[in-house]
Chain A
Amino acid sequence: MMKISKSERIFRVINCIFMIALMFITIYPLYYVAVASVSNSAELMSHTGFLYKPQGFDFGAYKIVLRNKNIISGFINTTILMVSRVSLAMVLTILGAYVVSRKNAMLAPIFMVIIVITMFFNGGMIPTYLNVRSLGLEDTMGALVLPSAINAFNLIILRNAFAAVPDELEEAAAIDGAGRIRMLCMIMLPLVIPTLMVVLLYYAVEVWNSWFEAMLYVRKKSLYPLQLVLREVLINNNATGMGSGGSGDSETMSETVQYAVMMVATLPILLVYPFLQRYFVNGMMIGAVKG
């Protein structure tokens, strides 16, 4: 064991303090939201200084949020999008990644180039927007499902996983007379399940958090995904129907309601994140090393 010099010991202590400070700065805003969301709104408004425990204890804000029809329809829309867009994205990504990963196919490298080009060039906001309109997708769920279904980064992660599967396995299956789709489903997919998980998670997070496309392509409020409803409540401060307790304190109510809304939108991610973190990080590493 080497001797630790004095300066190094000081450095370690400072580094440790820095890391704890970093963790605090990261966690505290979220903790603040959690605490504020279950506070009594009047008490929260009058509170100044460091907030470390709920001011009063009141689930009123959550009752308002969970009864609000915009939030509920936002949740439903996001769930529909989650199921439809993630499944479509997975199917297309699997097909694309599998084909471009085949080494003995002459067209595979050309397909790969077609995909990679889109990572560097795109039509830009307006031509993309007009394209969605000209396809008649404006104000439909299709506008939120189709235009960015495939993420090229995810496709490349999956392609690398497919390419790492030994060729002999597929050759053996081909000799047994298996068709392409059976080969893909029965042999390839089971071997890349960890990577499939990573890609699935990336897509799920992407869909859960997406809002910009909805803002561009959707006018009908009934089609708003959760994040866009949140934007109305949080950013535009347009809490229509949010303070509808009729008690006249809608102004102070909206403060805790806003925190409750943030909690509702973030809680699903916070709950699954600790268990899935290592998959996310693995995906980042695969993409970084080979991308």
Chain B
Amino acid sequence: MKTKTRTPKNDKTGFKARLVRDLHRNWSLYLLFVPVLLYYILFKYKPMAGLIMAFQNYSPAKGLLGSTWVGLQHFKEFLTLPDFWQLMRNTLWISISMLIFAFPAPIILALLLNEIRNKAFQRSVQLVAYLPHFISMIVICGLIVKFTSDNGIINDFLSMFGLERISYLNYPKFFVPIYVLSGIWTDVGWSSIIYYAALTGVDQQLYEAAAIDGAGRWKQTVHVTLPGIMPTIVVMLILQIGNLLNIGYEKIILLYNPITYETADVISTYVYRKGVLDGAFSYSTAVGLFNSMLSFMLLFIANMISKKTGEGGLW
């Protein structure tokens, strides 16, 4: 069999020679990649180069090369903005709320799903629970707007207990709960898939051994199941922390209004308003870059902590 391999590994051949031979043999393969490469250069890497406009007073007429450099001026402007702390607070508050409530929800759901003995029932729960993930953001936000309005079903329900009918989306204090709860509704089922897959991968013999040692279902869950899916949880947690500041602005843009900016306006929605609506390109790029850099820092810190505590990291 070994004689059949076309290129015997020969370390003595220089890199250049190997590359030439590889290009000679695989040029038709690489030709197939040209459109893909063009796509990535044109639509992914070119915008990345555009990030340098954060340090310029960019004007589309002059282009990236002709615009004047201003250094860190835009970053300074953002950091001294009166709204800066509100934006930071809102961004962190929404993401921490998501971390506390929306992150564990799919793990709990996966654990509970795993306890269902009737397979047909289990499958129907899964079928239903995954569905909201596929409904468009617009329709979901449309539902939220309808249901939280003063004649919506949430008010219909709460007014039975004598609560006053109010339009919840117009109250800053209700924005984050609405955001988090609807987020759980949309994705708890879909996100549980990955944990459920990890659960079904736990060695069945471990359960049998635990049962012989006298562990009940609860103890089996704590001592066998949870450690079994811990690597998955840790990876997802690190990723989530890395994304802490990258809140889905689409949903916020659909749900917030100037009355609720006080709790709903986050860095990414601010970037959208400043950049797209007001045309402050360089400034909003700087704000966006600042946001991504903070995110990367968080990701590194989370990964470091995870490694230090012996849970392993992403890299």
Contact = CB atoms under 8 A, between A and B. Distances in A.
A257 to B, nearest CB: 12
Given A25-B185, A130-B60, A205-B134, A122 B47 contact: yes
A205 B289 CA distance: 30
Nearest to A205: B134
B275 interface: yes
Interface of A: 2, 5, 7-8, 11-12, 15-16, 18-19, 22-23, 25-27, 29-30, 32-33, 45, 48-51, 91-92, 95-96, 98-100, 102, 104-107, 111, 114-115, 118, 121-131, 133-135, 146-150, 171, 179-181, 184, 205, 208-209, 211-212, 216, 227-228, 230-231, 234-235, 258-259, 262, 265-266, 269-270, 273-274, 277, 280-281, 284-285, 288-289
A26 B132 contact: yes
Given A11-B115, A106-B22, A125 B33 contact: no
B138 A95 contact: no
Contacts of A258: 142, 146
Contacts of A127: 47-51, 53, 285
Given A33-B143, A146-B43, A129 B276 contact: yes
Query: Which of A16, A26, A266 has the most chain B CB within a 10 Å cutoff?
Result: A26
A15 B129 contact: no
B289 A124 contact: yes
Nearest to B198: A288
B204 interface: no
B33 A95 contact: yes
Contacts of A111: 33, 36-37
A248 B40 CA distance: 53
A126 B36 contact: no
Nearest to A48: B156
Contact of A26 (B129, B151, B211): B129
Interface string B23-46: 000101111110111011011111
Nearest to A147: B43
28 contacts: A2-B211, A8-B217, A16-B116, A19-B112, A22-B129, A23-B128, A23-B129, A30-B135, A99-B30, A104-B26, A106-B19, A114-B37, A115-B40, A124-B292, A125-B268, A125-B276, A127-B50, A127-B53, A131-B50, A146-B43, A148-B43, A228-B138, A234-B146, A265-B139, A266-B135, A269-B134, A273-B134, A284-B193
B57 interface: no
B139 A124 contact: no
B138 A227 contact: yes
B146 A128 contact: no
A150 B36 CA distance: 9
Nearest to B142: A234
A16 B117 CA distance: 10
Nearest to B254: A235
Contact of B130 (A16, A48, A181, A280): A280
Interface in B1-17: 4, 6-7
A124 B132 contact: no
A99 B29 contact: yes
B222 interface: no
A181 B112 contact: no
B141 A212 contact: no
B136 A265 contact: yes
- Shortest 7 CB-CB distances between A and B: which pairs? A123-B47, A127-B50, A234-B142, A209-B136, A96-B36, A124-B288, A126-B275
Given A126-B285, A127-B53, A216 B276 contact: yes
Nearest to B296: A120
Contacts of A211: 136-138, 250
Contact of A123 (B50, B131, B132, B160): B50
Contacts of A126: 50, 53, 271, 275-276, 281, 284-285, 288
Nearest to A236: B254
A5 B216 contact: yes
B272 interface: yes
B153 interface: yes
B194 interface: yes
A122 B268 CA distance: 14
A47 B22 CA distance: 73
Contacts of B33: 95-96, 99-100, 107, 111
Contacts of B139: 230, 234, 262, 265-266
B75 interface: no
Query: Which of B44, B145, B156, B285 has the most chain A CB within a 10 Å cutoff?
Result: B44
A280 to B, nearest CB: 7
A223 B247 CA distance: 28
A25 B30 CA distance: 51
A216 B277 CA distance: 10
Nearest to A89: B39
Given A99-B36, A131-B46, 14 more contacts: A2-B211, A19-B116, A30-B135, A45-B151, A124-B288, A126-B276, A127-B48, A127-B53, A209-B136, A234-B138, A234-B146, A266-B135, A288-B197, A289-B197
Nearest to A261: B142
A270 B250 CA distance: 23
B55 to A, nearest CB: 12
Contact of A104 (B6, B37, B128, B138): B6
B72 interface: no
Contact of B115 (A12, A26, A27, A288): A12
A122 B30 contact: no
A125 B271 contact: yes
B173 interface: no
